[in-house]
Amino acid sequence: MWIEPNERIVNQVQILDESGSIIGTNPDIPDEDLIALYKWMVQARTFDQRALKLQRQGRIGTYAPMIGQEAAQIGSAYALEKRDWIYPSYREVAASLVHGVSMSNFFLYTMGNLQGGSSASVTNVFPVQIIIGAQCLHAVGGAWASKYNSENSVSVAYIGDGGTSQGDFHEALNFAGVYKLPVVFFVQNNQWAISVPRSKQTASDTIAQKAAAYGISGIQVDGNDVLAVYSTMKEALERAREGKPVLIEAVTYRQGPHTTADDPTKYRQNEEVEAWLDKDPLKRMKAFLLDRNLWNEELDQQEFEIANEKVSKAFEKASSSPTSKTSEVFDLVYEQKPKQLIEQQNSIVTEGALK
Active-site residues, by number, are 254, 258, 267
The length of the chain in residues reads 355
Residue 229, Cβ neighbours under 10 Å: how many? 30
Phi first, then psi, for residue 183 (nearest 5°) are -140, 145
Please tell me the distance from the alpha carbon of residue 168 to that of residue 343, in angstroms, as a whole number. 33
* Residue 139 CA from chain centroid, whole number: 13
Please tell me the distance from the alpha carbon of residue 67 to that of residue 276, in angstroms, as a whole number. 12
Of residues 216, 272, 37, the one with CA closest to residue 264: 272
Phi first, then psi, for residue 317 (nearest 5°) are -65, -45
Please tell me the distance from the alpha carbon of residue 132 to that of residue 172, in angstroms, as a whole number. 13
R_g of the chain computed on alpha carbons: 21
Please tell me the distance from the alpha carbon of residue 36 to that of residue 149, in angstroms, as a whole number. 33
Cβ-proximal residues to 345 (8 Å cutoff; 6+ apart), any chain = 327, 330, 331, 337
Of residues 186, 84, 182, 98, the one with CA closest to residue 135: 186
